[in-house]
Amino acid sequence: MASSLETTFSREWLRRGALACALWPVSLLFRGLAGMRRAAFAAGLSSSERLPVPVVVVGNIFIGGTGKTPLTIWLVDALRAAGFSPGVVSRGFGSKDAAPREVGPASTPAEVGDEPVLIAARTGCPVFVGRRRAAAGRALLAAHPGVNVIVTDDGLQHYALARDIEIVLFDGRGVGNGWTLPAGPLREPPSRRRDFTVVNTPELAPALAAAVAPPGSGPGAPWQMRLAGAVAERLAERAQRMPLAELARQAAAEGQGGGLKVAAAAGIGNPGRFFAMLRAAGLQPQELPLPDHHDFNDRPFAAIEADIILVTEKDAVKCWQIEELRNDPRIWVVPVSASINPALADQIVEKLRGRTPA
């Protein structure tokens, strides 16, 4: 039922149909309350804690996933290349503990969330999770005093933590129907101020750029982010790799009486983005979209007839925890990396230089 409701709202939020229009009066109330809450923090009526190092927030106003984790990984790498020592703070979706907790090599998605596990593995930088991000930031700095900038994965609306730079991320869905919850997919209106706007899309059309960065939302045009993957790695043995181009060649032979049958599964905010990337690589997999943060304990691959099942890195960290899936030779992981104009990193670093001696 939850999956059906998610599908219904995801579809309705892209247009102004009957359901969205019926909910529009409620969305006005939601928008007003969200604005009042933000204004209270801005006016000092609600307390906001400032950490002793600069804080960069990577977040979104579009509910669900837009690609924040790849952007966070890109940003950590860019800051490190510029001479900073970054750390990452995250809420940790599904984390059992409210108190701050460091993500270590033995941490599981059930303990700290799937995205923090992936960020820690990909970047090697300190990662802490906690419901209160300011407390998580303090704990991170206490454990790693050499860290001189903190990146928060999500947390755009977590105003209890003061921030120096805000990056708002969209994907190809733009602002949907442009309305706030529950009539639309937005937590805040598109005009919300921010320092940088990034759009995760293969093609940044002028209409999309204007929708996500309207006048008054912040300086400059939006930056385009592209996600790409070139290889698949077997889940059971990540050192075993196959170029996607070679996989596509072998799969193409399937219609000639041989070859490989390929399926793809994605439990992310926008599964279509993953499937589109695979199609761009020449694959035509059977598609299995799953809810965001799917835990895979329902064994979704049991009934799939395929020689290879491609999954995202975010899903792989959860599949690895289940012995049956970890040992399933059909499951292969497709790592992706973000590509953004390096000038964005230069501008972020320039802003940080004015706030830190690093």
User: Which residue positions form the known binding site for ATP?
Assistant: 62-69
| Cis geometry, peptide bond prior to residue 182 (ω within 30 degrees of 0) | yes
**Cβ-count burial of 4 within 10 angstroms (0-12 exposed, 13-18 middle, 19+ buried)?**
exposed
DSSP string over 53-87 = S-EEEEE-SBSS-SSHHHHHHHHHHHHHHTT--EE
Which of helix, strand or coil describes residue 3?
helix
Q: Shortest CA distance to 196 belongs to which of 295, 315, 59, 311?
A: 59
- CA atoms of 101 and 98, how far apart (whole Å): 9
Cross-strand partners of 167: 58, 196
Q: How big is the chain by its Cα radius of gyration, in Å?
A: 21
- Distance between CA 281 and CA 32 in Å, rounded? 44
Query: E strands along 201-319, which residues?
Result: 223-228, 231-234, 237-243, 262-266, 286-289, 308-312
Annotated binding-site ranges:
62-69
Detail the DSSP E strand segments found in the chain.
55-59, 86-90, 101-102, 127-129, 149-153, 165-171, 196-200, 223-228, 231-234, 237-243, 262-266, 286-289, 308-312, 331-334, 337-340
Cβ atoms of 309 and 330 within 8 Å: the answer is yes
CB 311 within 8 A of CB 265: yes
d(Cα 351, Cα 152) in Å, to the nearest integer? 17
**CA 203 vs CA 172, 199, 340, 354: distances in Å:** 8, 9, 13, 33
